[in-house]
A and B are shown apart, each in its own frame.
Chain A
Amino acid sequence: MLTTRLDKVLNWGRANAIFPATFGLACCAIEMMSVVSPRYDIARFGAEAMRASPRQADMLILSGRVSIKMAPVVRRLYDQMLEPKWVVSMGACSSSGGMFSNYAVVQGADKFLPVDVYVPGCPPRPEALIYGIMKLQDKIMGDKAMGWRERYQAEGTGEVEPGIA
């Protein structure tokens, strides 16, 4: 009883203070920047503290196409982030390759890292990204079945299993 309550409080805190990594890949990054601006104001959802280091961030927004040369870099940034961590794939390109159906671009960033939320659009409107982040909040606060480890059969790979605390 107590542990589940504590878990809920922890997840509530995690969901309402998401630190995104300052990491722009392409044109979607312009929309990502305007999400932080006063007009759209992601601070309303507690995700305005863009961290310049992956070690301090817990959400990676893949804002744009991931080229095959960039993919190992993105993967390394993801690996450097501390658990718990989430990935939002923003736009058509990072979700599926988008218009770049060619030799240079990874056809979907979920080929090399687990993605929690996909935001469609080319580029998505800032409102769409905010909606994606709200979906992510639901996911963080929701039950474990929404997590990616179950979907990717990766139970036991976390440093600290959520729910133990």
Chain B
Amino acid sequence: MPDATGLELIAQRIRSSLGDEAVTGTSYSRGQATLDVAPAAVYDVLAYLSKGDEEPWRRLMSLHGVDYLPAEPRFGVHYQLLSMERCDRLNVRTRIGGDEPHLPTVIDLFPTVDYQEREVYDMFGVVFDGHPDMRRILLPEDYTGYPQRRDFPMGGEPVLFTFNENQYPRWYD
């Protein structure tokens, strides 16, 4: 990971080339460097980090969705970048709100992101605009809802034990 100073330098370079509002913040904790990026600037920031001459982040290791439910904006999408030249990693993080969040796809920068964006769509309902095949990947096609959202019901059934047997009268029918 770049150290805290290196992270600030990266943020500064992005701000000077893409504008001040592209990077909303940086955080460095437990040896992990993270850039907070505005959702509108995600594509430009990742293009700058992966294709730019000053930056070595050529690979995207993984992409994740997060639901921070009580917090607003509610959803987060994390991109983890890897530099083979520097043996170094960098997290890029964005937050999006709303019930049907949208983000631009980065599939033309990183082809590997195809299935991962579909998985985030499957589990969190984040729609990646411009993705060529935005449909469910793990769950059945006719599934309704996005099960990894925090307000999605847990599912399952109450297990019958002796102590709650009388809460379910005629359970044996």
In contact, B147 and A104 (Cβ under 8 angstroms): yes
| Binding site secondary structure of chain B | loop
Count how many chain A residues have C-beta atoms less than 8 Å from C-beta atoms of the other chain. Answer: 11
Determine the chain B residues whose CB is within 8 A of the CB of A5 once the complex forms: none
Kindly provide the distance from the CB of A124 to the nearest chain B CB, expressed in whole angstroms. 18
- In the bound complex, what is the Cα–Cα distance between A103 and B157 (angstroms)? 11
Determine the chain A residues whose CB is within 8 A of the CB of B155 once the complex forms: 101-104
Kindly provide the distance from the CB of A75 to the nearest chain B CB, expressed in whole angstroms. 13
Chain B residue, CB-CB nearest to A99 = B156
Determine the chain A residues whose CB is within 8 A of the CB of B157 once the complex forms: 96-97, 101, 107-108
- In the bound complex, what is the Cα–Cα distance between A115 and B156 (angstroms)? 20
Q: How large is the interface on B (under 10, 10 to 19, 20 to 34, 35 or more residues)?
A: 10 to 19
In contact, A101 and B156 (Cβ under 8 angstroms): yes
Q: 0/1 per residue, A6-27, Cβ < 8 Å to B?
A: 0000000000000000000000
- In the bound complex, what is the Cα–Cα distance between A104 and B140 (angstroms)? 10
Chain B residue, CB-CB nearest to A68 = B140
In contact, B139 and A96 (Cβ under 8 angstroms): no
Kindly provide the distance from the CB of A93 to the nearest chain B CB, expressed in whole angstroms. 12
Q: Enumerate chain B interface residues (CB-CB to A < 8 A).
A: 138-140, 143, 147, 152-157, 159
Sample 7 A-B pairs with CB under 8 A, ordered by A number: A68-B139, A68-B140, A69-B138, A97-B157, A101-B155, A103-B152, A103-B155
Q: Enumerate chain A interface residues (CB-CB to B < 8 A).
A: 68-69, 96-97, 100-104, 107-108
In the complex, the 8 A-B pairs of residues with the closest C-beta atoms, listed nearest first: A101-B156, A103-B147, A103-B155, A107-B157, A102-B155, A69-B140, A102-B156, A107-B156
